[in-house]
Chains A and B, each alone.
Chain A
Amino acid sequence: MLTSVLAGLSILIIGDSHLTVPYYLIDSLHMGLERQGAQVHTIGVCGANPGDWLKPVKGTCGAAERRGDAAVQVLDVNTPATPIDQLLARDKPDLVVIVMGDTMAGYQQATFPKTWAWQQVTALTQTVAKANTACVWVGPAWGTEGGKYQKTFARAKQVSAFLSSNVAPCQYIDSLKLSKPGEWATTDGQHFTKSGYEAWGKALTQQLVQSPIVQELKKK
């Protein structure tokens, strides 16, 4: 009998608004990994930056949490992120999956705030690394250009390229390679429709099953 490489792994997923609505990745990715036999705990905080998982600040636009195959718990709009060191100590996950990219892109700014992003990303990855926890970073998907966030394909590419060379020792999953630009419909340029999140979650689950870091975990 074949078993998934994810069977029995404890996975903690943290991230931004893409995890805060019951049909977003908190459903498609979370349940995709659950169906592969992983024990998954997901927390999403809308608008969260990497640094917010180190020194939490009051949220402004919603949050959600899900454990195992229980229903999504939609949390108070002002719920802050939980410090990552507390989450790691409590959950003792085999793998942390970080879903963040759009909240660092500065879509409304003329230039990508790379120095700030470097500081934010490095602080979070180093904290996870100090806890000797394997991690995977999921970068932004294409979305659609425009909308209230003024997202552009060019900036999404720039952010993704930056993350790909700055999230180590986390492994990077480039969401831009999982669809064509604009292929997944959005509601506002940045957040996808239900079918978009289903496609993204399914593709990410496949990426995680095949990822070297998960294969390595399974050998331990």
Chain B
Amino acid sequence: MKFSLIALCSSALAGLTCLPAHGVEIKLYPTGPAQDSAFVRFVDGSAAGLRVTAAGSQAALELDAGSRASAYMPVAGNTTIKGELTQGEDAQTVSVEVLPSEFVTVLGVKAKEGLQVHTIHEEADDFTAVRASIAFYDLNPSCEDAGVQVAGRQVFLFEHVEVGKWVRRQVNPVPLSVQLVCAGQPVGQPLDLGTLQAGERHSLFLAPGDSANDFFHVKDTVAP
């Protein structure tokens, strides 16, 4: 016993303290956050211009046809995000509860009745750095039995998607154009997503309104 103590304490010369016989005791540290991350983004669903203002703040975000979506902004989980969406003379207050692990999209849409707000809560479970990921958000009741095909081929990426729902899947990182399909028929022109890169995340939106014009693509980004 005396020998082992001397041997262990001699390690102090190399920068160690005198150790218990079983080894060094590392001070306890957290092995992750108290709760998972959460994100929120805003999308101009009609390409008609959308101003997002945070409640109690002068901070504002301007979206338009050239920049339809904000980056996903990190927010604390289990909090309520409050603000206002403005489109021309129309305005809507927004209050969104965001849970840990959620990616929340707040979409403003120009309608006959005025500015409409749609909120989509997505919990991603398919993170990958070796394939690309695409989501389809169907918010258009006028497109029956909505689906998305690979353009020029009878291959469905998404099929029989319910209005108000979202679906997400992984795809190979290749050049991709997609075609909206309503009731089994192609609607509008194909959307060219370019060449998808591994690790990228993309969103396809079918916003309320004219299905041919309100099907659009956004590349998901996260604010630093």
- Among B24-32, B58-66, B105-113, B185-193, the stretch in contact with A: B24-32
Range, interface on chain A: 35 or more
**Cα separation A122 to B201 with both chains bound (whole Å):** 12
Tell whether, in the assembled complex, residue B26 and residue A46 are in contact, meaning their CB atoms are under 8 Å apart: yes
Question: Do most interface residues of chain A lie in helix, strand or loop, or is the interface mixed?
Answer: loop
A93 interface hit (Cβ, 8 Å): no
A15 interface hit (Cβ, 8 Å): no
**Residues on the B chain within 8 Å of A74, using CB:** 15-16
Q: A115-B101, A122-B129, A193-B23 are in contact. Are A103 and B31 (CB under 8 A)?
A: yes
In the complex, what's the smallest C-beta–C-beta distance from B8 to chain A, in angstroms?
A: 11
A114 interface hit (Cβ, 8 Å): yes
- A sample of 10 more A-B contacts (CB under 8 A), given A46-B27, A116-B32, is A20-B26, A47-B29, A60-B29, A102-B31, A106-B31, A106-B33, A119-B74, A166-B127, A168-B130, A191-B26
15 pairs, CB–CB < 8 Å, chain A vs chain B: A22-B14, A22-B15, A46-B29, A60-B27, A60-B29, A62-B27, A73-B15, A109-B32, A109-B34, A118-B127, A119-B74, A165-B129, A169-B198, A190-B26, A191-B26
**Residues on the B chain within 8 Å of A21, using CB:** 16, 24, 26
Q: Which of A17, A168, A188 contacts B198 (CB 8 A)?
A: A168
Q: Which of B30, B32, B100, B127 contacts A165 (CB 8 A)?
A: B127
Interface size on B, residues (CB 8 A): 36
Tell whether, in the assembled complex, residue A62 and residue B26 are in contact, meaning their CB atoms are under 8 Å apart: yes
Chain B residue nearest to A101 (CB atoms) is: B31
Tell whether, in the assembled complex, residue A187 and residue B127 are in contact, meaning their CB atoms are under 8 Å apart: no
Q: A22-B15, A162-B127, A168-B130 are in contact. Are A188 and B26 (CB under 8 A)?
A: yes
Q: Which of B15, B22, B27 contacts A61 (CB 8 A)?
A: B27
A111 interface hit (Cβ, 8 Å): yes
**Cα separation A77 to B15 with both chains bound (whole Å):** 12
Within 8 A of A (CB), among B86-101: 100-101
B10 interface hit (Cβ, 8 Å): no
Tell whether, in the assembled complex, residue A193 and residue B22 are in contact, meaning their CB atoms are under 8 Å apart: yes
Tell whether, in the assembled complex, residue B32 and residue A119 are in contact, meaning their CB atoms are under 8 Å apart: no
A148 interface hit (Cβ, 8 Å): yes
**Cα separation A187 to B28 with both chains bound (whole Å):** 12
A113 interface hit (Cβ, 8 Å): yes
Tell whether, in the assembled complex, residue B25 and residue A188 are in contact, meaning their CB atoms are under 8 Å apart: yes
A215 interface hit (Cβ, 8 Å): no
B9 interface hit (Cβ, 8 Å): no
**Residues on the B chain within 8 Å of A121, using CB:** 129
Tell whether, in the assembled complex, residue A165 and residue B130 are in contact, meaning their CB atoms are under 8 Å apart: yes
- Among B35-43, B45-53, B160-168, the stretch in contact with A: B35-43
Chain B residue nearest to A126 (CB atoms) is: B199
In the complex, what's the smallest C-beta–C-beta distance from A94 to chain B, in angstroms?
A: 22
Chain B residue nearest to A197 (CB atoms) is: B23
Instruction: Please give the residue numbers on chain A whose beta carbons come within 8 Å of chain B beta carbons, in ascending order.
Output: 17, 20-23, 46-47, 60-62, 71-74, 77, 102-109, 111-119, 121-123, 125-126, 148-149, 162, 165-169, 187-188, 190-191, 193-194
B222 interface hit (Cβ, 8 Å): yes
In the complex, what's the smallest C-beta–C-beta distance from A30 to chain B, in angstroms?
A: 15
B142 interface hit (Cβ, 8 Å): no
B124 interface hit (Cβ, 8 Å): yes
Chain B residue nearest to A18 (CB atoms) is: B26
**Residues on the B chain within 8 Å of A106, using CB:** 31-33
Tell whether, in the assembled complex, residue B29 and residue A17 are in contact, meaning their CB atoms are under 8 Å apart: yes
B128 interface hit (Cβ, 8 Å): yes
**Residues on the B chain within 8 Å of A61, using CB:** 26-29
**Cα separation A42 to B143 with both chains bound (whole Å):** 58
Tell whether, in the assembled complex, residue A22 and residue B125 are in contact, meaning their CB atoms are under 8 Å apart: no
**Cα separation A124 to B149 with both chains bound (whole Å):** 34
Chain A residue nearest to B36 (CB atoms) is: A113
**Residues on the B chain within 8 Å of A71, using CB:** 14-15
Q: Which of B14, B26, B37, B198 contacts A113 (CB 8 A)?
A: B37
Going nearest first, the 8 A-B pairs with the smallest beta carbon separation are: A106-B32, A47-B29, A74-B15, A168-B129, A61-B27, A113-B36, A116-B37, A187-B23
Within 8 A of A (CB), among B170-204: 198-199
